[in-house]
Amino acid sequence: MNSSVEIPAIQTKFTNNNLSAQEIRVMRDKGTERPNSSPFLINEKENTSGKYYCKNCDTLLYESANMFDSGCGWPSFHTSSSAVDSTGVKNGEYIVGKSGKQGIKDNNIIQYPDTSLGMARTEICCLNCDSHLGHIFTGEGWEKLFGEGKGNRYCVNGISLNFEKN
């Protein structure tokens, strides 16, 4: 019996051929970087201004204005970047990702249901290349701090991002 997992074709050929084995483990194999290991955590504390791009394909995903120090050990954002994309699909509508799975469009991110590890979560991936970014957590009370529509915590593996300082 073959127990290997079929990896979607889009994820076998990365745009960025310089990704490390650890970056591939997180972005393609849906791994997680060690908590408190991302160099971007200092940006949360120092309010460093800039933009965060997918390390694989350079798609704009987040802006520092939406980043906050959640204390979780991974870079956290309350909203994805509202950058323009070319899909023609509105946010909140279903869209089929590059992996062939159906998810919900969220600017340049696609949200997929994730029931791995025996819990219901929402996985977030780059809309352009389907690289795994992390998960969204809701209902944690962040909306009380940031205002209506900003209650989500996008918990992102910093290893899947590039940062461009303003």
Q: How many CA atoms lie within 13 A of 150 on its CB side?
A: 16
pTM for the whole structure: 0.88
Judged against a pLDDT cut of 80, whether residue 8 lies above it is answered with: no
CA angle at 61 for the pair 57 and 66, rounded to the nearest 5°:
155
Active site residue 57: no
> Which one of the listed residues 54, 126, 129, 155 is annotated catalytic?
155
pLDDT in tens, 13-72: 567 788 999 999 999 999 999 999 999 999 888 889 999 999 999 999 999 999 999 999
For the chain, domains (ranges, CATH) are 37-80+93-165 (2.170.150.20)
Going by the DSSP 8-state scheme, the letter that residue 6 receives in this structure is P
Mean pLDDT for the chain? Answer: 87
